[in-house]
Amino acid sequence: MSRVGILVFPGSNCERDVFTVLSKFSGLEPELVWHTKNDLRGYDAFIIPGGFTYGDSLRAGAIAAHSPVIRELKKISEENLPILGICNGFQILVESSLLPGALTVNSSHKFVCKSARLVVKNNSTPFTTMFKKDESISIPVAHGQGRYVIDNRAYRKLERNNQIVIRYAQNDINGSMNNVAAVCNEQGNVMGMMPHPERAVWIQMDQDIRPEGSGVFESLRNHLLWH
């Protein structure tokens, strides 16, 4: 069994969804981990779920980025364990500098909540091996601060290193630079994505939604099985 720690902060609200989805996959043992925990030994992977940690005070993810559990996560991120941040989790990862760039207010200045068409650009991360390169998928987004921003030089580096993992296939989501929806770190073990794959696993959830988020968790399961 692979233990997957789901990091929970005051204001997280997608941890149960992620927990339930992970429970569906044999071989994965999800566990909720409270933000004050400062010993993360014994886990095989981590997921930071969505939500509004600390009420998005200061900036989305800015306060959670300083918690004991993130300080600990920074130490073990070099051990090449898979770490996935979803939505607010992605915001926490950029605010803690575990991922490059920044996420700021959508260019529409509105909260965006809908199914987004995406294109998988890098299918070699622990979270995307089940997809084909350039595969088109649909996964819901729900965020107010999802516009990915980075300076041009750093952006070119991301492209060279294949760190832009998923792009939006439509222009009307949040104004992200070149439609960036997910990025990973240089080693590829840390990834953040604005769309919510855990909301696209069971088709009963919404008639418009296909179970295309499953691939993210299947990829993780396979990665943990074979590594």
Residue closer to another protein by CB (options 123, 185) is 185
Residue of 20, 23, 80, 107 interacting with another protein (CB under 8 A): 107
| Residue 153 makes contact with another protein by CB under 8 A | no
Residue of 31, 134, 151, 186 interacting with another protein (CB under 8 A): 151
* Cα Rg of the chain, angstroms: 16
Tokens encoding 156: 């070119």
Residue closer to another protein by CB (options 106, 128) is 106
Residue closer to another protein by CB (options 105, 119) is 105
- Tell me the sheet residues that pair with 8: 34
- Tell me the sheet residues that pair with 182: 166, 193
Residues in the chain: 227
Residue closer to another protein by CB (options 112, 205) is 112
DSSP state of 141: E
169, 118 in Cβ contact below 8 A? yes
In sequence order, what are the residues at sequence separation of 6 or more whose Cβ sits closer than 8 angstroms to the Cβ of residue 129?
123, 219, 222, 223
The question of whether 14 is a catalytic residue gets the answer: no
The question of whether 196 is a catalytic residue gets the answer: yes
| The one catalytic residue among 14, 72, 87, 95 | 87
The question of whether 95 is a catalytic residue gets the answer: no
Q: Output the DSSP codes for 160-173.
A: HTT-EEEEESSS-S
Q: Measuring CA to CA, which residue among 29, 24, 68, 32 is closest to residue 49?
A: 32
Q: How far is the CB of 206 from another protein (least distance, A)?
A: 28
Q: Which stretch binds another protein (CB under 8 A): 28-36, 71-79, 96-104, 182-190?
A: 96-104
Q: How far is the CB of 104 from another protein (least distance, A)?
A: 6
DSSP H helices, 25-115, are 68-76, 88-95
Which amino acid appears at position 184 of this protein? C
Residues within window 17-76 making contact with another protein, judged by CB under 8 A: 58-59, 62, 65-66
Residues within window 162-181 making contact with another protein, judged by CB under 8 A: 175
Residue closer to another protein by CB (options 3, 35) is 35
Neighbours of 180 (CB within 10 A): 26
- Catalytic site positions: 87, 196, 198
Site residues (vs another protein, CB under 8 A):
58-59, 62, 65-66, 95, 101-102, 104-109, 149-151, 175
